[in-house]
Amino acid sequence: MTLSQHVQYVRLPFLWVVLALFCLPVARPSQAANFDRTPGFDYPLPTEPTAPKPFRPEHYVVQRTIDPIVVDGRLDESSWEHAEWTVDFAHIHHAAAYARPPYRTRARMLWDDEHLYAAVELEEPHLVAHVTIDDEEIYDDNDIELFIDVDGDAQNYIELEFNALGTVWDMLLPKEYNRGGLPFSHPRIEESQPWDLAGMRVAVRAEGSFNYPFDTDERWVIEFSMPWDALEETDHSGQPLAVAGRVIRANFSRVQHPWSRTMWPIMDWEDRGGPAWDWTWSPVLVYNMHVAETWGRLVLSDEPVDERPDESITDVFDFVPAPEPPASSDAPSTDPSPTEMIHIEGGTFTIGPDPTDDDASPEGQVTVEDFLIDRTEVTVAQYAEFLNAAGNEGYFHTDMADPDLCGIVRTASRFDVVPGRDRYPIVYVNQPMAAAYAAWAGKRLPTEFEWEIAARGQEGRLYPWGDAAPTDQHTNFDFRVGHPTQVGSYPLGRTPGGVDDLLGNVWELVEGSWANYPWSEADPQSPTRGPLTRGGSWVTPASNLASSYRGAWKGNSAMVGFRCAMDLRK
């Protein structure tokens, strides 16, 4: 029993036209994620110091169409035949360390003056789908998702989700969930307002039989077009969007549930056989799609798709060399004692506004006592010393063994530092891990107000070094180096008081969870709030590097570390 199911619709501002419907129950969201490792995988262990290999997100050159595109799921236009496929999707976290997807997923893209086009091919031996109501939680089925942040600032970004029946969920997120974001068009959030990507057209071609376990299906293909006019409404850059050379942050994600043939017939759609996999076009380096700063890049080219694109725009990541490590006399100590701490005088200080979120985080004033703050972020060597002293493997994360992004190896009896990684910042930590280290060192995590005061001073500097925009001489940001750098490597980014690396390199966990400022007049109720982070990281764009920008932890990742503070002993 096989069939080819074709689903097509057009989304207009006030109208749905639907050509195929299936009546099946609606499920609730999946709560789990699959962290399958590549069998037998171990990170390579360098025996001598080596330079870290830079990581770069995927990028795709989107070329112009050469004939009209009919959105029907067939992809039989000459434009689609010439369009290059992306790389095959891989595990959301890191392709090298996690299991290779058993089914192939790849995408192609095109553009013309009116639309951005996307097509995704998903190999699928067992077509499973039941969500038929638009703007419901489609990831309860196997689905494909596209995230688009047209101006790259992690604000007002779009999430599109589709299942193999052609059901659609389109959302607009003013900011990330963990920063108190209240999405538009979310069916489970009462305050969520409706939103559609007006004019989007979608078609699905499914090759096989739905919800039938006794045969083997082939694939499903989805094709969709997004009007530039609708996308432009989310762009706050002030620059033209549909022009050659424009770079757009975006990522595809395939959510795949492990339904097996032994589960048929499906009586309980909430029982999917285990945690879902998430396979993405560009690795996110953390199991969380809502980390817009790590997404891949789409680059618009004026070249028609049957010609080679201009090579000058094909590589959007222009790496710069990591700075030379600080001289030994200027290098921070690996000793966790207070000798490497900077005294910050107390007083009354201006806090905020967060330039991206002045409703929830407006300008206000706080008064603090004198305190001490670490000169640099906690290093790999310092954290390894803590692990060996604490004897608690719960404070170790397997990916800390990555020699390019961290560098702690677990052996039978102890934790060792990868050669040459002593002075790199510790990453892959969460707030309890950071707090445990701080307590062991006789310190604590700084409050977010203390962190901002250390960065801005009494004069309210925009950046730790002053008001000049960030450059490669000030800090490590926006994939310019492609990995964390040794602490203290940017003397021009140092505060006048001597604190290093407050912006860029790694996000820094501080005390508490994200919430509206106490003096904010915004509604204090908001959805998911994550542990607070400050300062941006080696992947953060310059637009989000202001000292008053407030971030939130999104998972153990190579982008998050911490430094400690201490009450001043009087």
125: preceding bond cis by omega (within 30 degrees): no
Pairing outcome for strands 168-173 and 157-162: antiparallel
Structural domain contains residue 41 = no
What are the start-end ranges of the H helices in 74-173?
A: 78-82
Nearest Cα to Cα of residue 277 among 292, 294, 251, 255: 255
In sequence order, what are the residues at sequence separation of 6 or more whose Cβ sits closer than 8 angstroms to the Cβ of residue 195?
170, 171, 172, 184, 185
Q: Give the per-residue pLDDT at 32.
A: 52
Nearest Cα to Cα of residue 491 among 475, 508, 507: 475
Do 154 and 213 belong to one domain? yes
What confidence tens digit (pLDDT) does each residue in 213-261 have? 889 999 999 999 999 999 999 999 989 999 999 999 999 999 999 887 7
Do 156 and 289 belong to one domain? yes
Check: CB of residue 454 under 8 Å from CB of residue 483: no
What confidence tens digit (pLDDT) does each residue in 257-277 have? 988 777 777 777 877 778 899
Q: Which residue range(s) make up the domain with 176?
A: 59-307
Structural domain contains residue 3 = no
**Which structure tokens are listed for 5?**
């199911």
Question: Where residue 453 sits, what CATH number does that domain have?
Answer: 3.90.1580.10
Nearest Cα to Cα of residue 424 among 558, 249, 290: 558
Task: Count the Cβ atoms, other than its own, within 10 Å of residue 43.
Answer: 19
> Per-residue confidence at 430, pLDDT binned at 50, 70, 90?
very high
What confidence tens digit (pLDDT) does each residue in 382-399 have? 999 999 999 888 999 999
Do 288 and 413 belong to one domain? no
Do 491 and 347 belong to one domain? yes
pLDDT above 90 covers a percentage of the chain that reads 74
Q: What is the DSSP string of 463-483?
A: BTTBSSPP-TTT---TTSSSS
* CA distance readout (Å), 361 to 290, 346, 512: 20, 22, 15
Q: Give the per-residue pLDDT at 89.
A: 97
Do 147 and 284 belong to one domain? yes
Segment among 24-38, 63-77, 171-185, 456-470 with least mean pLDDT: 24-38
> Per-residue confidence at 28, pLDDT binned at 50, 70, 90?
very low
**Which structure tokens are listed for 284?**
């996110």
pLDDT above 70 covers a percentage of the chain that reads 90
Structural domain contains residue 11 = no
Question: Where residue 192 sits, what CATH number does that domain have?
Answer: 2.60.40.1190
392 vs 490, more confident:
490
Q: 3-state DSSP call for residue 544?
A: helix
Do 415 and 493 belong to one domain? yes
Nearest Cα to Cα of residue 11 among 68, 64, 71: 71
Q: Give the per-residue pLDDT at 22.
A: 28
Task: Work out the average pLDDT over 150-161.
Answer: 96
Nearest Cα to Cα of residue 272 among 432, 429, 95, 140: 140
Segment among 2-16, 89-103, 336-350 with least mean pLDDT: 2-16
Q: What is the DSSP string of 155-204?
A: SSEEEEEE-TT--EEEEEESS-TTBT---BS-TT-TTPPP---TT-EEEE
Question: Longest Cα pair distance anywhere in the chain, in angstroms?
Answer: 81
Q: Give the per-residue pLDDT at 316.
A: 72
> Per-residue confidence at 96, pLDDT binned at 50, 70, 90?
confident
Structural domain contains residue 559 = yes
Do 347 and 301 belong to one domain? no
Is the confidence at residue 14, as pLDDT, over 60? no
Q: Give the per-residue pLDDT at 15.
A: 27
Do 91 and 239 belong to one domain? yes
Task: Count the Cβ atoms, other than its own, within 10 Å of residue 502.
Answer: 27
Check: CB of residue 221 under 8 Å from CB of residue 121: yes
> Per-residue confidence at 359, pLDDT binned at 50, 70, 90?
very high
Q: Give the per-residue pLDDT at 212.
A: 87
Is the confidence at residue 469, as pLDDT, over 70? yes
Do 472 and 371 belong to one domain? yes
Is the confidence at residue 436, as pLDDT, over 70? yes
98 vs 234, more confident:
234
Domain count, the chain: 2
Structural domain contains residue 189 = yes
Do 367 and 285 belong to one domain? no
- How far, in Å, CA of 186 to CA of 190, rounded? 8
> Per-residue confidence at 332, pLDDT binned at 50, 70, 90?
low
Structural domain contains residue 462 = yes
Structural domain contains residue 444 = yes
Q: Give the per-residue pLDDT at 41.
A: 80
Sign, CA torsion 359/476/444/384: positive
Do 237 and 348 belong to one domain? no
> Per-residue confidence at 309, pLDDT binned at 50, 70, 90?
confident
**Which structure tokens are listed for 451?**
């962190």
What are the start-end ranges of the H helices in 180-272?
A: 228-232
Structural domain contains residue 23 = no
Nearest Cα to Cα of residue 201 among 13, 18, 6, 11: 11
What confidence tens digit (pLDDT) does each residue in 524-539 have? 665 558 999 999 999 9
> Per-residue confidence at 415, pLDDT binned at 50, 70, 90?
very high
Do 473 and 412 belong to one domain? yes
